[in-house]
Structure 1
């Protein structure tokens, strides 16, 4: 049955029988046979097929969602059994929220590859909500997230502290003045923020509540890099992680606005679904717990001030 599910998932994702056949090194009639057998087992059609497209119907969407979870569990089970007699190796699917995934994780994975070259990592970057959901559905082995998520379905372990600061263009009037900014002044600025579901957006809203301010002007982006570019261009200000702005601070492209009550602290957490872990996952978690770069950053609450 697992082979039938694998073929079905590939057809659903490729939306094409020929491409699915190539990916599985099968003939197109063989792929069609697998799909018919799965539909017979389920008891209904799962795909809408025309000369122009292949797409999931409502039943197909349900089967696809659960097939991804079943295949993830099957792979994890096989890896756990293989680990009983082998060293840390094999696939490791890692998910991370944007801040950690874009600015910290690459160096940790480089360290992992140096020590354990037989581990094959794949990385998914998304907001906290998405990563937590993929871990909960067994599509990722581990997630690294910040902010709140549905902890009832996951095993969560806080492992690093991050500090959030307000940044502006070096040409901003507040930077030129050098004095600490009044909290009331923040309300009149244009705020450049992440989308809902992002840990950085959650931290920003927490800061608004803490300072009792309700800004009127916002610009929204789905990742941190365009936020930094927009702030540098003078379009507004933003609350960002110290990890995300190290290069810009060093080069003078961004400056930290000095505000009483900041930096704002938040926790990054390791999230997993199962207490049973492959050796690859075990060693990766140990690297996260003992990473010297994280320890160094945690010791500095106001970087480069």
Structure 2
């Protein structure tokens, strides 16, 4: 593996020669020499330097993006070579959307490590769009995304369904209605929604279209946990996965709302880039598919 790429990526991410040297267990002069040699090889300066910071310039951003892809491909190649003669073992990088990653994935990983202790997973959590982009950029081996995600460059496999419910505080005015809520009442309510790019936000917008409503009162939060706390505090209502609200429903902190088109059904999908998987990744995928 090209050490120049490794050093360059470390400096770009740490934005500091000293911190990059510490991470790489090198001296600062050695790091500087690697960067200078790499810039000569590329034929242009890649970093803007000052006494306070080190930042990528335009050329540096281009090189950084491709360097990450190159190292990702090299790592994947090495895993395939190792797999040729060994059983399921080694690292796998997993990306997952918030709902699946925070409420389902930990249980799958626990079962995997119990059966295959030589597999070493690393996990990144983000919204569905972010996870798919990491897989596309060779920075994740596999992603789990929510909703009807489409990308012609990725292999996408729907493997399970997720039931989503409108939730509210037991003290919310809609919780005291004697019958099914009316569309006008849903439209006038304050909604707490996830950020754009999130599978949960996509599902919420689809539900609005199916119900024929366009709520004006919307607050956008970037965390499922924050949404649950806010709904419990009475700030509004929201649409969340069954996986995310199990504890709160059992404790009586939240309750579901009876309305048309609810529960809303969406898909969980596996996204990969390469048709070839390591034994470790195949093992993980088998466990994901079996988790129904």
Q: Which residue is equivalent to 2:54?
A: 54
CA distances 1:92-138 after superposition (whole Å, capped 9, x unpaired): 10000011111111111111111111111111000011000000010
Deviation at 1:173, TM superposition (A): 2.3
Deviation at 1:184, TM superposition (A): 2.4
Deviation at 1:5, TM superposition (A): 0.5
Gaps of 5+ in 1: 296-305
Deviation at 1:148, TM superposition (A): 4.0
Deviation at 1:149, TM superposition (A): 3.8
The question of 1:241 aligning with 2:235 is answered no
Q: Which residue is equivalent to 1:86?
A: 86
Give distance in 2, aligned partners of 1:150 and 1:77: 26
Give distance in 2, aligned partners of 1:50 and 1:151: 41
Q: Structure 1 residues 93, 25: CA separation in 2 closer, same or farther (over 3 Å shift)? A: same
Q: Which residue is equivalent to 1:147?
A: 147
Q: Which residue is equivalent to 1:68?
A: 68
Q: Which residue is equivalent to 1:121?
A: 121
Q: Which residue is equivalent to 2:277?
A: 277
Give distance in 1, aligned partners of 2:46 and 2:178: 63
Deviation at 1:178, TM superposition (A): 4.5
Q: Secondary structure at the residue paired with 1:85?
A: coil
Q: Which residue is equivalent to 1:108?
A: 108
Deviation at 1:155, TM superposition (A): 0.4
Q: Which residue is equivalent to 1:96?
A: 96
Deviation at 1:268, TM superposition (A): 0.4
Q: Secondary structure at the residue paired with 1:163?
A: strand
TM-score when normalising by structure 2: 0.98
Preserved contact between residue 79 and residue 90 of structure 2 (Cα < 8 Å): yes
Give distance in 1, aligned partners of 2:178 and 2:113: 44
Tell me how large the CA RMSD over aligned residues is. Answer: 1.1
Q: Secondary structure at the residue paired with 1:226?
A: helix
Q: Structure 1 residues 178, 4: CA separation in 2 closer, same or farther (over 3 Å shift)? A: farther
Preserved contact between residue 93 and residue 122 of structure 1 (Cα < 8 Å): yes
Q: Which residue is equivalent to 1:174?
A: 174
Preserved contact between residue 132 and residue 150 of structure 1 (Cα < 8 Å): no
Give distance in 2, aligned partners of 1:153 and 1:33: 38
Deviation at 1:57, TM superposition (A): 0.7
Give distance in 1, aligned partners of 2:170 and 2:115: 41
Preserved contact between residue 132 and residue 145 of structure 1 (Cα < 8 Å): yes
Deviation at 1:150, TM superposition (A): 4.4
Q: Secondary structure at the residue paired with 2:91?
A: strand
Q: Which residue is equivalent to 1:230?
A: 230
Matches within 5 A, 1:147-226: 147-226=147-226
Give distance in 1, aligned partners of 2:36 and 2:149: 39
Q: Secondary structure at the residue paired with 2:51?
A: coil
Q: Which residue is equivalent to 1:303?
A: none
Give distance in 2, aligned partners of 1:155 and 1:144: 12
CA distances 1:247-269 after superposition (whole Å, capped 9, x unpaired): 00000000000112211100000
Give distance in 2, aligned partners of 1:242 and 1:148: 18
Q: Secondary structure at the residue paired with 2:145?
A: strand
Q: Secondary structure at the residue paired with 2:117?
A: coil
Give distance in 2, aligned partners of 1:237 and 1:130: 26
Deviation at 1:174, TM superposition (A): 2.4
Q: Secondary structure at the residue paired with 1:92?
A: strand
Preserved contact between residue 207 and residue 261 of structure 2 (Cα < 8 Å): no
CA distances 1:237-296 after superposition (whole Å, capped 9, x unpaired): 0011111100000000000001122111000000000011111100000000112xxx2x
Gaps of 5+ in 2: none
Q: Which residue is equivalent to 1:77?
A: 77
Q: Which residue is equivalent to 2:19?
A: 19
Q: Secondary structure at the residue paired with 2:36?
A: helix
TM-score when normalising by structure 1: 0.94
